[in-house]
Amino acid sequence: MTATLRLAPSILSADFARLGEEVRDIDAAGADWIHIDVMDGHYVPNLTIGPGVVKALRPHSEKPFDVHLMITPVDPFIEAFAKAGADYITAHPEAGPHFHRTVQAIKSAGAKAGAALNPSTDPSAIDYVLDELDLVLVMSVNPGFGGQSFITSQLRKIEYLKTLITKRGLDTIVEVDGGVTPQTARDCERAGADVLVAGTAAFTGGRDCYADNLKALRGG
């Protein structure tokens, strides 16, 4: 594992009946970020949480809150999630008619801006806003559900984006979300990923297993 590889456990796989405790436990186990999946049952086929839950969780960890908005329209909700405590807000280019405006809105709200690329979304969709992005999230499953298998074709996308970012001299983070296991984590790392989102692989087995789960994801 590279010294800079970060892990962002997704609370989508946590026990929602004790979510605050789960955030504290995964933080103590060594999480670098806390990944929060927001789904609207419209842009993706699932329904999760809103800014009120993010606000309620904020006191439970000082780690960066990495909020992935799988919702449309997205722009009307950006300010609420930023005020709730999101450090990173990531949206999909397809979720609104003017993605550059979305990026501007995220930054204006005081958060760092991310773009999420679905498995079939070409990186060209963000070519002209890449210089303004803090993060690019490569979805290695189709968004909407946890526990899916890694789509290996996305490794080429990770490699392409990392090369492009390096060529342009940018500091943009490459994050990968979907089907991340100790095995696929190594593939993502070799392809150039900076941050790995893991749900099932991070939270399986309960709190006593969290530290070992994260250690395995780091290749330890």
pLDDT reported for residue 194: 98
Regions of the chain short of the pLDDT cut 50: 1-2
Q: What is the pLDDT of residues 130-155, one digit of tens each?
A: 999 999 999 999 987 777 899 999 99
Ligand-binding annotation for 147, yes or no, is yes
| Closest to 197 (Cα-Cα) out of 153, 148, 130, 164 | 148
d(CA 98, CA 130): 14
Contact 217, 180 (CB under 8 A): yes
Domain ranges of the chain: 6-11+15-217
Q: What is the pLDDT of residues 96-118, one digit of tens each?
A: 999 999 999 999 999 999 999 99
Ligand-binding annotation for 179, yes or no, is yes
d(CA 181, CA 211): 14
Instruction: Give the strand pairing for 6-9 and 195-198.
Output: parallel
Please give the model's pTM, rounded to 2 decimal places. 0.96
Ligand-binding annotation for 110, yes or no, is no
pLDDT reported for residue 4: 82
| Active-site position among 25, 32, 37, 40 | 37
37 is an active site residue: yes
**Angle, in degrees to the nearest 10, between helices 210-217 and 19-28:** 50
Residue 22 parent element (H or E): helix 19-28
Ligand-binding annotation for 150, yes or no, is no
| Active-site position among 25, 32, 66, 177 | 177
Tokens standing for 24? Answer: 């504290």
Q: What is the CATH T-level fold of the domain 6-11+15-217, as seen in this structure?
A: TIM Barrel (3.20.20)
